[in-house]
Amino acid sequence: MKHQGKRILSSLIVLVVLALVFEPMVRVSAATVKEQFSVAQGVTYTDIRLSDGSTKQAVRVMGIYMPDDTSHIEVGVPVALNSLERTSSQAKRNTSDGHYVVGAINASFFHLGTAMNLVSKDNKLIHAGEIFPGSDKYVNQPIAFGVNKSGRGIIDYYNIDMTYTHNGNTYDITSTNKLRYENETILYTPDFTSNYTDTNQYGKEIVVTVPEKPTYEFGTTVTGTISKVREKGSTTNTAIPENGFVISGIGTGVDDLKNVKVGDPITLSIDVDDKWKNSQFMLASGPMLVKDGRVSMTMDPNSLNARIRAPRTAVAIDKTGDRVYYITVDGRQSGYSTGMSLSEFARYLVDLGVDTALNLDGGGSTSMAVRYPGSQLATLANSPSDGYERAVSTTLLAVSSIPPESFKDVRYNFWAYDSIESLVDNGTITGYPDKTFRPEKEITRTQAAIMLTRQLDLNVVNVTDPGFKDVKPSDRYYKYIAAAANAGLLSGKGNGYFEKDEQLTRAEMAVLLQKAFEIQMADKGYFPDVKKDHWGYDYVNALAASGLATGYEDGTFRPDRSVSRAEFTSFLYRAINQ
């Protein structure tokens, strides 16, 4: 049965072990960190720049903390198995409500549009792929990255068994959905989306139909009936049935099929070794670069492809498998990033502190997509060597269940995040043109009028001029101020002026909220610094009695203090949901 089965910049790139515990960020010393941020809860991104005279490198690292219940990783496959799609496009296509792709890298090597090596998902085989003999080849041993049944990242050897049984005899299947070479037996499934095997006349093929479309799950068998036989020498193109498969042999593969006939039962069996059984996905690649925290290459480092400096992509894990890292190095761009040989890349990964690392497709395919703060979708983060993002086969995705932040300066861990995002959804908040909210900036009386008018859906078309001397009908936000004034929420500051650019105080905020939401007045005072003779006394205490305001830690309310945009949003959110 056939089983597919000179350190670079060392003084500048010493990195502390990648830790993703309380603060899931890559901690870097000596190298220049151009950019670093939390992409989502449990997912981090770091843009690292290295320089040693004329040699420069642009490295990007994305870290995913697997135990976080809001984030995980997946394998991304193009719409058709034998088609290509850009990494950023796969990230966008796989994004939906509750399933937000926040990062991605290119993964499989490919040929003629199809992944060259094994791909499985949800314990089901998608493509068996190939292992190429010779230590000068990238994928010369059966090694895969994936997520096991325990939800941990794993990089290890694998053993795939594929056979078919006919008349009590069992025969090996070489691979799936690929070009057929001498003495091979290939399984073609509907995933081979040309709908035909497209093989030459020198082999023999049988079409097998089954009662229901098979899923090719590891550890299971599929039994069907031979519905058609294409003999050797025939030039007929064999169609792949939707509810079935085709077994195609050449050379010794033809010999194995010599006694088959229409109507015979065929049993297909696909299995994988126990450590990969029930895995969330598997993606084969190579070579292995790091094992047990040390350089351990499964490819001749002196071979041409290993020796050249080029863009590189890798996936790595820590010792527990709880932390997964996507790493890219740009290359072939003088003055920006030279690229690394595989030996240099492996040594750099050791310096990063990873335990095990597997090389992925590199060169012009190297690409990393990241969802930047304030953005809705992941976009290309690195600089591909072709000058554009190349279409690739499979990808590795980082997925979050938390919706994207609306503003790049209000992240998921900001204290008023929920309030701000809720009011964005309501259409109450739009922020600034540069995608910022500026939460600590004091809110103006005009901005408060705008937010209340939007939240209460006040009529801004047929408004009556409130007659403020400093608010003209030609002013940009006139209709909002007029609508709020018409509704009795806002009045002037005296002498006929509205003071539209003046900062809103906490007492003024209390008046606005009490009037807007008709909050019941209180029968007592709650704060020592809000005396009965203060004009805002009743309104402030109404907020306190309703539970909307608790004041500061020292028990004060500070009625004359300015309100920040985040504070006003938080108070408004509470009033809406009281």
**Using one digit for the tens of pLDDT, what is the confidence trace for 356-392?**
999 999 999 999 999 999 898 999 999 999 999 999 9
What pLDDT shows up at residue 30?
A: 55
Taking 90 as the threshold, does the pLDDT of residue 62 lie above it? yes
**What is the torsional sign of CA 411, 417, 423, 429?**
negative
pLDDT attached to residue 21: 30
d(CA 50, CA 28): 11
Going from the C-alpha of 401 to that of each of 90, 213, 218, 290, 325, the distances in angstroms are 17, 31, 28, 31, 19
Give the pLDDT of residue 111.
86
pLDDT tens digits for range 188-199? 998 886 789 999
Structure tokens at 255: 């010999």
Q: Which residues pair with 462 in a beta bridge?
A: none
> pTM of the predicted model, to two decimals?
0.81
Position 4 scores a pLDDT of 32
Look up residue 238 and give its two tokens. Answer: 């064999």
Average pLDDT over residues 110-132: 90
> Measured between alpha carbons, how far is 45 from 22 in angstroms, rounded to an integer?
15
506-562 pLDDT per residue, tens: 999 999 999 999 999 998 999 999 999 999 999 999 999 999 998 899 999 999 999
Mean pLDDT across the chain? 91
| Angstrom distances, CA of residue 576 to CA of 68, 444, 455, 489 | 31, 20, 9, 16
Asked if the bond preceding 287 is cis, omega within 30° of 0, the reply is yes
Using a 10 angstrom Cβ sphere, with 0-12 exposed, 13-18 middle and 19 or more buried, the burial of residue 393 is buried
Distance CA 520, CA 534 (A): 18
The structure tokens 């976009």 sit at 379
Q: Tens digits of per-residue pLDDT, 217-253? A: 999 999 999 999 999 999 999 999 999 999 999 999 9
pLDDT of residue 193: 66
State the pLDDT at residue 80. 79
**pLDDT (tens digit, 9 = 90+) per residue, 405-428?**
899 899 888 999 999 999 998 899
DSSP 133-186: -STTSSS-S-EEEEE-TTS-EEEEE--EEEEEEETTEEEE--EESS---TT-EE
- Which two structure tokens, joined as six digits, stand for 382? 């690195």
The per-residue pLDDT for range 137-157, each reduced to its tens digit, is 999 999 999 999 999 999 999
Percentage of the chain beyond pLDDT 70 is 95
Distance, in Å, from the CA atom of 273 to the CA atom of 159, rounded to the nearest integer, reads 6
**The pLDDT of residue 339 is above 90:** yes
Tokens describing residue 248: 């195609």
d(CA 406, CA 400): 15
